Amino acid sequence: MNDRIEALILRVDSYKEADGLLQVLSKEQGRMTILAKGILKGNSKNAASVQPITHSHMVLDIKDPISLLHSATIIDFFRPIKENITNLAVASLIGDIALQVSTSHQPDDYLYQITKESLTALVHYPPLLVGCIYVSLILKEMGITPMVDGCVVCDDTKVSAISISEGGFVCLRCAKNVPSKTYDANFSRLFRYTVKAELQHLSALAKQGEYTLELLSVFVDFFKDYTSIPLKSWEFLRKL
């Protein structure tokens, strides 16, 4: 059979001598595992088109749990991502999260779209900003958007800290009673703007201030608090 898919290759593990096991998010089938034979050999014609963080068309035999690749053609190699370590680390975080929240052989148009657009955005915008908005959109999709319109405990509009376990901003009084961390006004403002934003607001967000690893870590902590699955790519990124 010659099935055709459009996919984002998010992870590649070596398998046996020279084969690759690809973890992809496809437009047509959601998350898939694909065996790419011989791609680690020097003369493989498919090698470039099945590198991690690549957008490709593929011809394959679709099978569950492992599909078999025949050929792949690059749509976007995302070269500027691969040439910069921070870009690549954020792209790996996006890929890790996409693989965790996707379902095998079940298409999810929205997840595919925001993952593809976020990888494309890494070429044009500060990587930590793109990381923040991607994780924020995932939280929204999972129904765990942080509460940023007032204290999540008592509704007081004067907030001073963020509580991961309570799910958003807390006021000075409530901060004493729940696990929370205090941030300055600028940090809190960027956090609130990002929670409210969609991908089309990236250029407006980029003008609001500097998106730091600390801000991204708040978004990642909300995600980890809910899923409790380790994110290897995040451990790598925070050590950069």
Using CB under 5 A, list all residues that contact Zn ion: 151, 153-154, 156, 171, 174
Q: How near is the Cβ of 171 to Zn ion at its closest, in Å?
A: 3
Place of tokens 């899923």: 227
- b/e map 221-237, b = 16+ CB within 10 Å: bbbeeeeeeebebbeeb
Shorter beta-carbon distance to Zn ion: residue 117 or 156:
156
Taking the least distance from each CB to Zn ion, the nearer of 94 and 175 is 175
Beta carbon nearer to Zn ion, 67 or 188: 188
* Bond from prior residue into 127 cis (ω within 30 degrees of 0): no
Nearer to Zn ion, 157 or 200 (CB): 157
C-alpha span between 168 and 90 (Å, rounded) = 24
Cα–Cα distances (Å) from 28 to 33, 74, 89, 93, 132, in that order, read: 13, 17, 26, 22, 27
Residue 67 or 160 with smaller CB distance to Zn ion = 160
CB of 172 to Zn ion, least distance (A): 8
Q: How far apart are CA 192 and CA 184, in angstroms?
A: 12
Least Å distance, CB 156 to Zn ion, is 4
Q: Residue 5 has which token pair?
A: 């898919």
3-state secondary structure of 181: strand
Residue whose pair of structure tokens reads 């910069």 in the numeric block: 84
- Specify the residue, 53 or 174, whose C-beta has the smaller distance to Zn ion: 174
In the complex, what is the shortest distance from the CB of residue 175 to Zn ion, in angstroms, rounded to a whole number? 8
- Least spacing, CB of residue 191 vs Zn ion, in Å: 17
Return all residues near 85 (Cβ < 8 A) that are at least 6 apart.
240
Smallest separation (angstroms) from Zn ion to the CB of 157: 10
